Amino acid sequence: MGDTKTGVSVFYPDGGIDTGPVLLQKEVEIKPDDTTGSLYLNRLFHMGIEAILESVELIKAGNSPRIPQAESNAAYETPLRR
């Protein structure tokens, strides 16, 4: 789709789908030879685990932000199907 970066977000759940305030975001470059599998399995999966652990520490320390999501940047990705 032409994107040059992607990442993971940890957010507070609310009544919508992926609509709550953001607690933490991390980005990674999409390399020209990346595939969905290589990007997810080699980088995003591990980054997501680290982001969750970091988020828990932020909450425990009382330093967890609640950054409102910009509706103008919102996009909904449908679930993958086999």
pLDDT digits (tens, 9 = 90+) for 24-50: 999 999 999 999 899 999 999 999 999
Which has the closest alpha carbon to 39: 61, 8, 63? 8
80 pLDDT higher than 90: no
Which has the closest alpha carbon to 28: 57, 54, 3? 3
Place 57 in a pLDDT band, splitting at 50, 70 and 90.
Answer: very high
Higher pLDDT, 14 or 71: 14
82 pLDDT higher than 90: no
Q: What is the mean pLDDT of the segment spanning 11-25?
A: 88
* Strand ranges (E), 1-82: 5-11, 22-29
